[in-house]
Structure 1
């Protein structure tokens, strides 16, 4: 018998299926970003893949499911990197600055910017897109950061507060600079020094707001 702690080795069929699924998602991501959700069809993606629409349907039952899988794959890849940055054993300020730089770099990347434009342009017409995007990307990132901040509060590095509100504050501060400038078309893409400056600004303001509360000093003796 195989020991219970021995990892299972995927079969060739499972590997081929995973590879095929990844190939579909890579093509679909480009197609969605280039054509938008409304003008993307399963037939069009199948044609890009060089296969039949029936094969595509075996992996994804709808265009919405395919879009969700595209967003989920991209979000999980980034959130995996962010998890490595958020080291609870490291110094708090440099860890937060690294996390904020990573976030700004991600949201100002060409693919993330194109996805943001897609959601803004078509989210009202297809409200399920906004929900899929928010639940899988911004919401999960916020929860990941909130979990780290909760640990910092428990360790006394930050004052006790709602960690989800704290994560929202830090994210909002991080995205208030060059990311906002990019969204309104004032810049094409921020330079590394601009990203670093935004991250430093966000963390400085955040730590001032969430600094641990000092213990009250006893009243001076009356002489």
Structure 2
């Protein structure tokens, strides 16, 4: 999966071939076709692999010790770091380019991000509502609001419209995200 991801990120979907990926692995194209019926299927499997790995890393900050503000800040900082990583951005660009050709791949890629992180975040939000730390609002909407805040630079990053954020800037943005979210949805806010 790692090698397939590297190839897709380096040359894009159209230029990537099963032969190129097999050569990098040191195997044969026929062996790849034993596991994946098409290049699209391999791309989806590679994206699923990447999303699961990134999702697990990001979600370690939710439900960890510390107050809600600190958990949200660490989560946002981790997600912003991923969304400021050129390898992640290359893979998203590949998914976007393929989604223009195949609605199936675009939807699956979007769902991978939703399943990997955002359903767990909605569950976390539901627990915070139940504990009285957040206003009694729809947990899925709360999770999507946090997602929108965290995606603030994504379009600019994808289009290379500005420099990627530094670690210091990511930390400052994460604090702002946690503050804005809790000012709007925190139980003590009115």
Q: Calculate the TM-score normalised by the size of structure 2.
A: 0.90
Correspondent of 1:189 among 153, 164, 167:
164
Q: CA offsets, 1:43-101, max 9 Å, x none?
A: 22112222211111222222222111111111111221223210165310000000000
Q: Distance in 1 between matches of 2:79 and 2:113?
A: 12
Task: Say if 2:13 and 2:98, in contact at 8 Å, map to a contact too.
Answer: yes
Q: Distance in 2 between matches of 1:84 and 1:147?
A: 14
1:51 aligns to what SS in structure 2? coil
1:190 aligns to what SS in structure 2? coil
Cα root mean square deviation, aligned: 2.0
Q: Are positions 1:130 and 2:103 aligned together?
A: no
What is the CA-CA distance between 1:36 and the residue it aligns to? Answer: 1.5
Larger Rg: 1
Aligned length: 190
What is the CA-CA distance between 1:139 and the residue it aligns to? Answer: 4.4
Corresponding residue of 1:45: 21
Corresponding residue of 2:178: 203
Q: Are positions 1:33 and 2:13 aligned together?
A: no
Following TM superposition, the consecutive aligned residue runs of length 4 or more in structure 1 with deviations greater than 3 angstroms are 178-181
Q: CA offsets, 1:87-135, max 9 Å, x none?
A: 1653100000000000000111111110122223332122222112111
Higher helix content, 1 or 2: 2
Q: Distance in 2 between matches of 1:126 and 1:180?
A: 21
Task: Say if 1:152 and 1:158, in contact at 8 Å, map to a contact too.
Answer: yes
- Higher relative contact order at CA 8 Å, sep ≥6: structure 1 or structure 2? 2
What is the CA-CA distance between 1:214 and the residue it aligns to? Answer: 7.8
Task: Say if 2:56 and 2:116, in contact at 8 Å, map to a contact too.
Answer: no
Q: Which one is further off, 66-75 or 33-42?
A: 33-42
Q: Distance in 2 between matches of 1:96 and 1:171?
A: 11
Q: Distance in 1 between matches of 2:97 and 2:182?
A: 35
Task: Say if 2:134 and 2:186, in contact at 8 Å, map to a contact too.
Answer: yes
Provide structure 1 residue ranges, at least 5 long, that are not aligned to the other structure: 1-24, 216-223
Provide structure 2 residue ranges, at least 5 long, that are not aligned to the other structure: none
Task: Say if 1:101 and 1:199, in contact at 8 Å, map to a contact too.
Answer: yes
1:9-20 alignment runs, 5 A limit: none
Task: Say if 2:129 and 2:136, in contact at 8 Å, map to a contact too.
Answer: yes
Corresponding residue of 2:90: 114
